[in-house]
Structure 1
Amino acid sequence: MQDHPTEPQIRTDVLDPARAGALAATLGLEATFAEGTPLPPFFHQIYFWDARPPEVLGRDGHPAVGDALIPAFGLPRRMWAGGALEFLAPLRAGRPAEKRSSRVSTSRKTGRSGPLAFVTLHHEIWQDGTLCVREAQDLVYRADAAPDAPGPVPPRAPEGAAESTEVRFDPTLLFRYSALTFNGHRIHYDPAYAREVEGYDGLVVHGPLLAQKLLLWAEEEGPVATFRFRGTSALMVHEAAELCRDGARMWVRGPDGRQIMTAEVNAGQTV
């Protein structure tokens, strides 16, 4: 089912240099930001907060669905499944910017784990009259799993990466990233909720945090023009992971060889 795009919802924010510096510190980067400093790719995730009062939050800590942007599907479990980004011009710290968000499509189907709903959102980030970032965001909503239901079998990660590097996470890093992105999803900081309600084996590493790690690694080779990523299984905070790449292909491999995320990166200027 393809929807007609919704009218854009607009949020404005001043891209606080101190907040960018806090994210850099959280990620272990040596970087400082002043008014006019270009932000690294994907740092816009820490701005344009959707801050709502407690009474309109869902059980998972996210704003309850059922507004003009995301319909109510009756499916309580939410995941950021993936996205596609175009970096058209640098966003600069300390200056006002505008985010325009609309819903592109929704669809429903039944998978091996039960009913699923998919939502694609489109975001544009403008600053000083220039379109700087274009982003498609894919969300998936699922029903609660039955207590005795087997979990999905994750795909295997490719072998033979041209380059790889190990990454590790801890609860403090997840908490700080949740705070900076104003992400209230309890699977990232409430281990009892993650295990007992959503059925995970502990705290879950944010998908966008893994994407951010891949992007920063890719940027070491030069500016990134486009980036696509898709989550294929969850990474737990107690697990080490490998960031892998082979040319434009990138992926995240779990300690048991399962595929956590796939990505594709392209350098140079977009057209």
Structure 2
Amino acid sequence: MSDLGGVDTQLLEVESLHKSFGGITALGGVTFEVESGTLTGLIGPNGAGKSTTFSIIGGMLQADSGAIQFGGEDITGESPDYIARKGLVRTFQMSREFQNMTVIENMMIAPTSQRGESAIQSITPGLREDVSEQEEDIFEKAWEMLELFDIDHLALENAGALSGGQRKLLELARALMLEPEMLLLDEPFAGVNPTLEKKLINRIERLRDKGQTFLLVEHDMDMIMDHCEQVIVMHQGDTLLTGTPEEVQSEERVIEAYLGENVE
């Protein structure tokens, strides 16, 4: 993880993001901050601009104007690879694993410092002793991460055979192989059964307690209110309110924004 020196507790700073598509305004000045070592929720009715905001922060989209700082560095307009190398990594609502590869192969392909693909080719029964020192380190790290998420028993299964919830666990484990300072989680609990959902939030909270920072988009309001220290509310492409769960739930503007919406 990157060393930010502990000077500024605001790890991510988003200032006045604007984005239009074909004359339609998607974002009209989104501004918020995320404190280091916290679990922060980003919520809003359908069409509020949450996904667009995530895509701009992660470098998948370019803003028309505005600025993004991460760890005190301006990352506005940088590529997803550059942003990930700086320690800001995004997961997606739809898991993006390599379905024809095994779970452990998916894990080992994640580290950006890996030289070549020999590590992937070598992880088959009986061949582990042939891997290089670097590959051995990556293998050990991948296995430890699978154990953390209780999916090490699936290591040699094809990723395409996993359930939706297991794929969510795999995607988060893969993201953590990059040793990010902060993770952007896009609906991490969608399609996850209650048992795996509990396991996933427990892992996220354990990582948060160790200093990891999370910003998550999620439609399950009970999940957001029960587990996040801070909640950012978006409405019609702008930031409506930032506050604690208690403050957000008692705010009349938030109630009005959600009135008539199916928040699931």
Same fold (TM over 0.5): no
Structure whose residues are more often helix by fraction: 2
Larger Rg: 1 or 2? 2
